[in-house]
Structure 1
């Protein structure tokens, strides 16, 4: 039988599969037809959308298809243009399990309903995925075919769902009188007795089946994350072989099992580390569903979460985000499967620059291949977050001067003169004592002093570097509340470091920890030419420079290329001497204390006896350019500072309002600030 000849789709159309009835062993057959999906016009066809993983495609199965061409105004039963389509075993098992024995079922599944051989069609349909899953009557989450443990796993989830999430319950996260299961394990794999902090209501077999359930590919795929986030949460269902459950009940019950403090489950689980990762991914999915705002305002921040998800095509790390972004942001990401992942990332960066007037995408830099200013989707992803603004609310002054070369404006601040010392994360160690031993050794190497803990100034510098300045002392919270475990004070940090040193010297095994190096690109420390302790990428080396760029909140490490005067981007960094705009505005705050305000996303200032100040005192003597005015809008009960022009009329001005017009490149130059141009390659 020939391959199925796909008729072309019109721009507002999608294909649907009318799955023919049959017995389990019957051949898969169906009819493909076109319908308009236009939510704006109220054109919403009836169908169910299948959310599944493609899986292994090396042993395809065939489904026999025919097209239906209804005449205008009437439904035709005549089919033509028959042929076959190859589908993977997982989809084939889903269709066999889902088809009815005595009537047709209308489904949407991408492998059949999108012509996978037509790149242009694929690109167009990928951009409509959010609408498909949002406006389907329901989404069927196909976890996979039946397994020996499937019934036990699903029954365990039902047990929790029925017991802890009754329909009338207002607080579904309650723990209600659970008692240990009669066959709950009493010893671990080494035969050591287990003492539970809380009762374990399941048998060991149940825990193992749940662990395997959570490890199914569907839970970890990035596309399925988007699909279920936009699904109708009340009508959608979960299928695992013949096992079926309402998605809403499944979601709440699984999230409860993932988050409740059951006790020492590491002694029971087959792979505790993998299970923890899977739990994180599932809980993140639930949080995204329950969040009132399902669309991100930044593809840069949204991209970081894809690190926890699996993608067979790295380009889909960006494409799968489109539906999760606000429409104007989604336009930064143009779907084009003829381009490489690096080309797509570079294109998204340039479009972002044109639309948003900032260089935020440089916070993602992790690349060693050209262009180094564009994120490498094939490497671990992490957004560099800082509670400061090195660019001092300036708009970017940058342009793509030729393919792969981005010219940006900024200033050279400092230079790296020695090899950085790694500050490892605690999760890479067997126990906290081993971690702290390594950390204290790094502190001694950085300071060159075995008794560094006796010097408060030295310890403060270390703590500031470790936390990237995210401390109570440098936060607007200082004016509102005392220090806490979420944001410690320097004084608390000093006591902690002294406690670590003393406890180590006394051979103790109990340690208090309240902060760790973050898992960002800049996890190494070094002394700069200016003598400052800066956090930089581990790949940094002597001769690299630290710069402040207009339109970028963090500092950046660049590597000069002597042959042509260009620069490679090494990655984002934290330099306490330039993190708050000192490169462009200086460090005289006119007697005001400064601190980062998370609510406003900019610095605020305070002085004894004075109200909280939103304007930067370093600009008090700098008038606004002609035609500009400053105003203080209140958004979500929070006031902030923005600027507008009397002749504002262009759409991009909406983004301009958050940038101080006094911080433009030419106005900084007029005030004698030595702005440079860097060519990034």
Structure 2
């Protein structure tokens, strides 16, 4: 029985192992390699190497290779990569994580892994080239790679490039011949992929399917591959025997994005290039270079650069949940070097910590780095109820990206990048790393939630409950809200600050109209007119402008056989309005069309949100998971109010961010902070 290879201890914290892959003239000969230990950043022992970026495919190795004459098990995908990367007549120096890092589970191996993970950015940035291995080729891979290479070559040049020059002329001719078209200028090239490759013919279908197969590769979904591509100085994609330059690949995707069906997959494919470009663009904004992965000081950056880094943080906050890994802590540790490169100060990697502790650490780091802002709490929402995580800790085991539906399924995306100042210019308490399960904040309790009106199918998939039922139940909720308004609707002033009509419109569609003071009078008149149309139809049968007979005539339904929501739904149907002919006047048709536009284009985007009535008389919106009896609080350092649920005295669960009309710009935050109390989020 062959002796098992055992990793020797590394001599220093900056040491890494490299493999020297032995050559073979026979493609299926057993893999043999040696191990070299070098010091990163030590010019005296500098050894050029290439770093492999790939997906393990399975958690443990099953195929033996010979390492220093001993047996070492690697995964099938790693073995396939080694076979394709091996030279015929010379050795190849590579860095491959599964081989170069001790994957054992003893204390020494874990300490080594903790240390090596913190150096991942350096390892990939110091490589002469990063090799992205996507696995064995699909039947369509060679032609898809050829197409992307040609498109990438041409789109990589600026629009004014002289295409008569070589080698552009060669590529232009080949591309024209292959697609049976004439490329006169850059614009034609841009349209080529859409008009010919995607839209027409059997060959085009093959390209589309091949591209979908390529972008569906697991490599694009894995968290570790993010930093591996982001820090690469030079990158090449390998799939079987086909290869494609990373820069050309991303240039080609710039055209694909306007025609490719699955934008989510495309988004994941382009994320690495976006992040890499941002880091390279702003790495000189700090006093130390990003290539040195120690934290940079954002305090010394120009304000514009600082803002761009904060936008990147928001980008990563949402991205984390959409990426995949085998160990949940790797949602953070897999991006550790990226976070450090953008100036985020993090505790050292420690795989002995629970996933809750690791996620809590990074949430607190975001708070400290963002000028003591609590905006990271926006994605802590748990729509389906609280889990094993503290309520304030984002659970990155679930996705936080907006879905493809017209209505919001996040409960927070409309607050992202908002200019609200609900807590004035207050700053959050600098969070302590301990206790790990708690977050200490300061806050002002506005009041309790007296009543909630929410659709009975809010938060459910329309495909499962029925698209029509989903829509009807939201109509029920909207009508119930209008009826419940009562005195608010009839009052001359809302909470001592403005007319009720503004409160109602903003509550229905705050994401669109929270800044109505910036709209001109014509736009405001149109908004208000459509709202009145919508409100008049939705209080059927107590309409004021249109009559019940008008609505029933357009709906073509017997009021004795259907309930109010179904009558309203039918009256708003564009086909019914169009086919009503002379049954109703043109004025009635305009009202119904206005009501339809206001409901479908604005109100329906918040179909998963509840209507709130506070004990203070304020009205607002929050995601469907809030309850009557919850508290609305202004938290120091937060731009928006939050719904809290008290579990003990001064100890609360975080439920959801909220929009409450009349308190979004610091109106209730006490200037002297009298009434602001210490609150513990658990």
- Shift of residue 19, structure 1, vs aligned partner: 1.0
1:2 aligns with 2:6: no
Which structure: greater helix fraction? 2
- Shift of residue 277, structure 1, vs aligned partner: 1.7
Q: Distance in 1 between matches of 2:210 and 2:6?
A: 43
Which structure: greater strand fraction? 1
- Shift of residue 493, structure 1, vs aligned partner: 4.0
1:121 aligns with 2:121: no
- Shift of residue 566, structure 1, vs aligned partner: 2.3
Q: Distance in 2 between matches of 1:238 and 1:414?
A: 56
Relative to structure 1, is the Cα distance of residues 463 and 88 closer, same or farther in structure 2, using a 3 angstrom cutoff? farther
Give structure 2 stretches of 5+ with no counterpart: 163-184, 284-289, 291-308, 402-411, 493-498, 538-550, 552-568, 576-592
Aligned 8 A contact 1:417 1:541 in 2: no
Aligned 8 A contact 2:124 2:130 in 1: yes
Match of 1:244 in 2: 243
Aligned 8 A contact 1:537 1:573 in 2: yes
Q: CA-to-partner distance for each residue in 1:610-648, whole Å, 9 max, x for gaps?
A: xxxxxxxxxxxxxxxxxxxxxxxxxxxxxxxxxxxxxxx
| Counterpart selection for 1:442 from 472, 477, 482 | 477
Q: Distance in 1 between matches of 2:624 and 2:149?
A: 48
Relative to structure 1, is the Cα distance of residues 514 and 138 closer, same or farther in structure 2, using a 3 angstrom cutoff? farther
1:271-310 superposed matches below 5 A:
275-291=262-278, 292-293=281-282, 296-297=309-310, 299=313, 301-310=315-324
- Shift of residue 462, structure 1, vs aligned partner: 4.7
1:507-526 superposed matches below 5 A:
507-508=573-574, 515=602, 523-526=609-612
Q: Distance in 1 between matches of 2:616 and 2:196?
A: 64
Aligned 8 A contact 1:366 1:381 in 2: no
Q: Distance in 1 between matches of 2:510 and 2:481?
A: 16
Aligned 8 A contact 2:155 2:186 in 1: yes
- Shift of residue 559, structure 1, vs aligned partner: 1.0
Aligned 8 A contact 2:322 2:399 in 1: no
TM-score by length of 2: 0.70
Q: CA-to-partner distance for each residue in 1:547-600, whole Å, 9 max, x for gaps?
A: 1111222211111125x5522222322223322222224xxxxxxxxxxxxxxx
| Counterpart selection for 2:151 from 160, 171, 195 | 160
Q: Distance in 2 between matches of 1:180 and 1:362?
A: 42
Match of 1:604 in 2: none
Relative to structure 1, is the Cα distance of residues 579 and 167 closer, same or farther in structure 2, using a 3 angstrom cutoff? closer
> Which shifted more, 392-401 or 143-152?
392-401
Q: Distance in 1 between matches of 2:236 and 2:93?
A: 16
- Shift of residue 256, structure 1, vs aligned partner: 1.5
- Shift of residue 217, structure 1, vs aligned partner: 0.7
> Which shifted more, 315-324 or 293-302?
293-302
Aligned-residue CA RMSD (Å): 4.1
Tell me the SS of whatever aligns to 1:418.
strand
1:272-421 superposed matches below 5 A:
275-291=262-278, 292-293=281-282, 296-297=309-310, 299=313, 301-327=315-341, 329-353=343-367, 356-367=371-382, 368=386, 369-381=388-400, 384-385=415-416, 386-397=418-429, 402-421=435-454
Q: Distance in 2 between matches of 1:680 and 1:279?
A: 37
TM-score by length of 1: 0.70
Higher relative contact order (CA 8 A, sep 6+): 2
1:143 aligns with 2:145: no
1:191-270 superposed matches below 5 A:
202-232=203-233, 235-257=234-256, 259-261=257-259
Tell me the SS of whatever aligns to 2:675.
coil
- Shift of residue 165, structure 1, vs aligned partner: 4.7
1:174-193 superposed matches below 5 A:
174-176=187-189
- Shift of residue 34, structure 1, vs aligned partner: 1.4
1:99 aligns with 2:86: yes
Q: Distance in 1 between matches of 2:191 and 2:368?
A: 56
- Shift of residue 468, structure 1, vs aligned partner: 4.1
1:547 aligns with 2:633: yes
| Counterpart selection for 2:13 from 11, 14, 17 | 11
Relative to structure 1, is the Cα distance of residues 128 and 463 closer, same or farther in structure 2, using a 3 angstrom cutoff? farther
- Shift of residue 31, structure 1, vs aligned partner: 1.1
Q: Distance in 1 between matches of 2:531 and 2:484?
A: 14
Q: Distance in 1 between matches of 2:195 and 2:605?
A: 42
Q: Distance in 1 between matches of 2:8 and 2:603?
A: 57
| Counterpart selection for 1:85 from 72, 83, 89 | 72
- Shift of residue 204, structure 1, vs aligned partner: 1.5
Match of 2:661 in 1: 576
Q: CA-to-partner distance for each residue in 1:44-99, whole Å, 9 max, x for gaps?
A: 54111111111124662122212xxxxxxxxxxxxxxx433221111111111011
